[in-house]
C-alpha cells in the first residue's frame, strides 16, 4: 500500500511538472519567410543580386518611357496654341462699313437735317442706303441717300450732315433710320437709327429783310421778302425802327401795300416816311415787328445790321485813286446765306467807263478787275472762316479817259 501511495504521489508530481512547462515555454515561431524566399531564389538557379538589378533596370526603363510620353504630350499640347496663335496673327481683321445716324436737328427751325457717321473700317457706298423718317412712330418719308447728297462714299470715321426736304411743324418725336441693301454687309446693322424730340416752327408767313439799298441821293431803302410757306396778306402793319450808329433815328408804322408771296415769290421795297441819308462811315440797323404775331412765324430774323463806307472821289484824266478800309469780324451765319461785301461805284458822267481793281485777304485777291459805265457793282461772299477775323481791303478806281470824273464809291459789309 505504501508503494502504491508513493507511485500515485510521483504521478501527480509528473503531471504538475508537465502543466508548468507548457505554461512557461511559448510555442515555437513559424518558419521564417525570408528563409523560404531565399531558398526559392536559390532553387530557381538565379542569384539574388542579378535578379534585383534586372528589376531595377526594368523599373528605370518604364519610368523613362513614362517621362518621354509625358514630354511628347506636353509638346503636342504646346504646339496647338502656338499654331492657333500664328493663325490668329496671320488672320486679318474684318474690314466693313458701319453707318449710324449720329444727330438730328432743324435748319431754320423747320427743315430736318440728319448727320450720318461711318464708324466702321471700310467706306460706305451712299447709293446702298435709304433714309426713313418717322414722326411720332409713323413713317412719313423715305429718301435715297444718293438723292440727298452728291457724295459717293462716306469714308471711315467721316460724318456728313444731310438737309432733307422734310419740314417739321410743332413739337414731335422724330426718328431717322438708314436702311441698307441686303447685299451690303455692316459691322452692326442694329445701330442705324436715332431718335430725338424736335420742335419746328408753325406754318405761316416769315418776313425777312433781304437787303439795304441807297437811292441816287444816298437815302436808305429796305428790301423785304416772305420766306414762309404761307403768303403774307396785303394790309399787314409793320413797326419799323431804324438805328444809325446805335442811335434810333426813325420809328414808324408801315402799311404793306401788296401781298408778299411765299418762298420769296416777290420782293417789297420799304422806304422811311422821311429821309434817312447815309454819309461817310455809318452803321445801320433795322428791325421789323408785325402788329399780329400770326403774321410772322419767325421774329428773330427780322433784324439786319450793315456798315456803309462812302468814299467821294474826283478823278482827273488818266487818273487813279485808291481807297483802303477794314472789315471787322461778324457773327457766323449759315451756309445758305453767307455774309457779303458789296462794292458799288457811281459817277455823274455815265458815258465815261471806269475800272475797279481789288486787293483783299486770301482768295479775295483773285477778284478780277471790272470795267464799265456807271454804276459798277461787285459782290464777294465772305467764307465763314474769314468772317471771324478782321480783314484789310483795297479798292482802286481808274479813269482811262481824258475827262474828269466825280462820283462815290459805296462799300457795304457786315
- In three-state secondary structure terms, 22 is helix
User: Confidence class of residue 34 from pLDDT cuts 50, 70 and 90?
Assistant: very low
pLDDT level of residue 221 (50, 70, 90 thresholds):
very high
Q: Cβ contacts of residue 194 below 8 Å, gap of 6+?
A: 100, 101, 102, 103, 104, 114, 175, 176, 177
In the chain, the domains with their CATH numbers are 99-200 (2.60.40.10), 203-301 (2.60.40), 307-414 (2.60.120.380)
- Strand locations in 256-400, DSSP E? 267-270, 281-290, 303-315, 320-327, 340-347, 354-359, 370-372, 376-381, 391-399
Whether the predicted pLDDT of 56 surpasses 50: no
pTM of the model: 0.65
Sign of the Cα torsion 292, 295, 301, 304 reads negative
The percentage of the chain sitting over the pLDDT mark of 90, rounded to a whole number, equals 56
List 320's β-bridge partners, or say none.
398
CA-CA distance, 407 to 321, in Å (whole number)? 12
Among the listed ranges 125-134, 175-184, 380-389, which one has the minimum average pLDDT value?
Answer: 380-389
Q: Is the pLDDT confidence value at 113 over 90?
A: yes
Cell readout for 26 is 511559448
| pLDDT at residue 36 tops 70 | no
* Residue 48 pLDDT greater than 60, yes or no: no
Tell me the mean pLDDT in the region 252-256: 95
Average pLDDT, the chain: 82
Residue 388 reports pLDDT greater than 90: no
pLDDT for the residue numbered 42? 40
User: Residue 1 — pLDDT band, cuts 50, 70, 90?
Assistant: low
DSSP state of 328: -
Q: Is the pLDDT of residue 83 over 70?
A: no
The answer to whether residue 25 scores a pLDDT higher than 60 is no
| Mean predicted confidence (pLDDT) in 137-144 | 94
Amino acid at each position: 500500500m505504501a508503494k502504491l501511495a508513493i507511485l500515485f504521489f510521483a504521478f501527480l508530481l509528473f503531471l504538475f511538472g508537465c502543466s508548468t512547462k507548457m505554461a512557461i515555454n511559448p510555442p515555437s515561431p513559424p518558419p521564417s519567410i525570408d528563409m523560404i524566399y531565399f531558398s526559392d531564389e536559390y532553387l530557381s538557379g538565379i542569384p539574388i543580386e542579378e535578379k534585383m538589378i534586372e528589376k531595377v533596370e526594368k523599373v528605370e526603363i518604364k519610368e523613362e518611357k513614362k517621362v518621354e510620353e509625358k514630354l511628347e504630350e506636353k509638346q503636342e499640347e504646346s504646339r496647338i496654341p502656338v499654331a492657333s496663335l500664328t493663325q490668329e496673327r496671320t488672320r486679318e481683321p474684318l474690314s466693313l462699313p458701319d453707318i449710324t445716324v449720329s444727330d438730328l436737328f432743324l435748319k431754320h427751325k423747320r427743315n430736318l437735317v440728319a448727320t450720318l457717321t461711318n464708324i466702321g473700317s471700310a467706306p460706305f457706298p451712299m447709293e446702298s442706303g435709304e433714309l426713313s423718317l418717322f414722326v411720332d412712330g409713323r413713317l412719313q418719308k423715305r429718301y435715297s441717300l444718293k438723292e440727298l447728297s452728291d457724295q459717293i462714299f462716306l469714308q471711315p470715321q467721316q460724318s456728313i450732315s444731310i438737309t432733307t426736304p422734310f419740314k417739321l411743324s410743332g413739337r414731335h418725336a422724330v426718328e431717322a433710320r438708314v436702311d441698307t441693301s441686303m447685299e451690303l454687309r455692316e459691322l452692326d446693322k442694329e445701330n442705324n437709327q436715332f431718335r430725338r424730340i424736335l420742335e419746328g416752327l408753325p406754318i405761316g408767313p416769315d418776313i425777312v429783310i433781304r437787303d439795304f439799298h441807297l437811292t441816287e441821293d444816298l437815302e436808305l431803302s429796305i428790301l423785304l421778302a416772305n420766306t414762309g410757306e404761307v403768303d403774307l396778306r396785303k394790309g399787314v402793319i409793320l413797326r419799323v425802327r431804324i438805328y444809325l450808329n446805335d442811335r434810333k433815328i426813325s420809328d414808324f408804322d408801315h402799311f404793306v401795300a401788296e401781298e408778299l408771296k411765299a418762298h420769296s415769290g416777290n420782293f417789297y421795297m420799304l422806304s422811311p416816311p422821311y429821309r434817312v441819308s447815309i454819309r461817310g462811315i455809318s452803321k445801320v440797323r433795322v428791325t421789323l415787328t408785325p402788329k399780329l404775331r400770326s403774321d410772322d412765324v419767325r421774329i428773330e430774323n427780322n433784324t439786319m445790321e450793315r456798315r456803309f463806307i462812302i468814299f467821294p472821289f474826283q478823278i482827273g484824266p488818266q487818273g487813279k485813286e485808291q481807297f483802303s478800309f477794314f472789315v471787322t469780324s461778324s457773327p457766323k451765319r449759315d451756309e445758305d446765306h453767307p455774309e457779303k461785301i458789296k462794292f458799288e461805284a457811281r459817277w455823274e458822267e455815265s458815258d465815261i467807263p471806269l475800272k475797279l481793281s481789288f486787293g483783299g485777304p486770301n482768295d479775295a485777291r483773285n477778284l478780277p478787275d471790272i470795267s464799265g459805265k456807271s454804276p459798277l457793282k461787285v459782290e464777294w461772299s465772305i467764307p465763314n472762316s474769314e468772317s471771324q477775323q478782321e480783314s484789310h481791303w483795297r479798292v482802286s478806281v481808274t479813269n482811262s479817259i481824258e475827262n474828269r470824273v466825280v462820283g462815290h464809291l459805296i462799300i457795304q459789309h457786315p
